[in-house]
Structures are given as C-alpha cells and as structure tokens.
Amino acid sequence: MNVVTEDGVRLWASRSGAGGPLVLCHGGPGLWDMFEDLSAMLHDRSTVIRWDQRGCGRSQRCAGPWTTDRFVADLDAVRRHFGLDRMTLLGHSWGAQLALSYTLAHPERVSTLVYVSGTGIEPVSHWHASYTQNLTGRLGEQPERLSHWRELPRRDPERAVLQWTADFADRERALEHARRLADPWFEINHECNAALNAETVRTWGTPELRTACASLDVPVLIIDGAQDIRPRSAVDSLEEALPRVRRVVLPKAGHLPWVEAPEDFEHALADVLGNPVGGAW
C-alpha cells in the first residue's frame, strides 16, 4: 500500500500480524526495507509495519529533500496513515539513528525505542576509521573477494553484496546472507546516501544531542551484535546518556543480529513486545 506524505510523495508500506504496533525503520541511507524475516518472526505478537524511506526501494523516486527532519516527518506520516497514537519503534543501523531522531522529536508517540546496530551519538570521526579498517580486514580474509570488491563500479549490485558479506559473523554463510538481502534488488539511492551521511557528519556528536538524549523519558532497548564491524564502543555514548536504557549484546552476531541469532534477538524483544506501553526500565 502507499502512504502519501504532505508534500505528495508516495511511500511504500506494509502491515502484517496482530498485536501492539511495531514500526520498523530500515538501514541505509538509500536502501530499502529488508525486514521480511524479522516481520515473519514477530507477526504473531505484533502488528508489524514496514516501509521504504523516501526515494528508496519501492517508494516513489523523488528529488528529496534528503534531510533527517524530512525523514522524521515521513515516519510520522506512516504513523498517521495507520492510525497509531503510540508505537514501538525499531530502527536498524541508519534506521536506528532515524528512529532515535524521531523519538527525540515526538517522545509522546513512542512507547519504546528499540535501537539495533546503531553507531551512537559521538561524532562520526570517532568511529568511522575503525569501521573502514574492519571492513577491509574482514573482506581481506578472502583476498580475491576484497580485490573483486575494489574493482567493481560503485553502482554495481555485486559490489554491494560483497560489501554486505562483511556484516556477518558467520563467514561461511556470509555470502548466502548477503545475497538474500539483495533479493529483490532495488537501485541504491546514492544521492540520498551522500546527503544524509554528510548531514550526520555535520550535526551528530554535539553537546545538545547528548543533553536531549539525557532528557528522553522513553524506555530504550539497545541491541548489538558483538561482531559488528562498526565499533560497538561507539554506542557507549548513547547508553551513558539515556536515563531509561537496557542493552543486550549478542556475542555470535554481526550487524544483522536477527539474521544470525534469531532466538536470542526475539528473546531480547520479549519484554518490549509483551508490554506495548513501554518497559519498566
């Protein structure tokens, strides 16, 4: 189905399952919803709402604007379309940053924030060099894969698939998992990616952001895969700032913990989904 924003852009959205509302925010920026497995896992205990962000995936291609404020407004359009007063909000990677931004802007509309595989609230410069080193190091475990990745054009889908293999702790199944993420394939919106990443570099890591997080009266569940190539220490800043937070680290998972540790991931969510008005922490 389509959600139409107030500026007339059509966003692809899907609703399934039964129970309290759980809205999912995919990663990127510039990618699309890859939560089919997670939705199937949770549909018997939640009404799961998935959507493709502006200009991405199955949503209408448009000229932006590519700003966090615009994406927060789009997420609120999704909420209104489905008639939700409050929701559990789960974001993954860049989607975790978007979900946090939405919760800071509209805390009364979020019962619990589930922050999965994000990168915290420190400046990007504090963690990005380590991420790049970890990426090439993990791809370099198979030198031919690293060489092929470097040779491929930036917009080649196979390059994205090879890069995504680094996001999985299970190296034997990494290519299998990465290919599943790319099926179906939608063109990556590189303009969106560049603009939102540049905005994050400019605006993330400020004292004002830390103060806003310290004042957030919404329960937050942080879920990490211990073997994520994005340094998990980057998330410490967010955990330290939040007054109502619980953190779960899954030791055998990488950047997509629901794929590699589904039972542990579902267990981590049990309290949140069993109490849609928010946890007690």
Q: How many folded domains does the chain comprise?
A: 1
Written as tens digits, the pLDDT of the chain (281 aa) is: 899 999 999 999 999 999 999 999 999 999 999 999 999 999 899 999 999 999 999 999 999 999 999 999 999 999 999 999 999 999 999 999 999 999 999 999 999 999 999 999 999 999 999 999 999 999 999 999 999 999 999 999 999 999 999 999 999 999 999 999 999 999 999 999 999 999 999 999 999 999 999 999 999 999 999 999 999 999 999 999 999 999 999 999 999 999 999 999 999 999 888 754 444 45
Residue 58: inside a domain: yes
We report the CATH number of the domain holding residue 212 as: 3.40.50.1820
Residue 136: inside a domain: no
Residue 39: inside a domain: yes
Rounded to two decimals, what is the model's pTM? 0.96
Residue 205: inside a domain: yes
Query: Domain range spanning residue 222?
Result: 2-127+187-274
Residue 147: inside a domain: no
Backbone angles phi, psi at 133, to 5 degrees: -65, -45
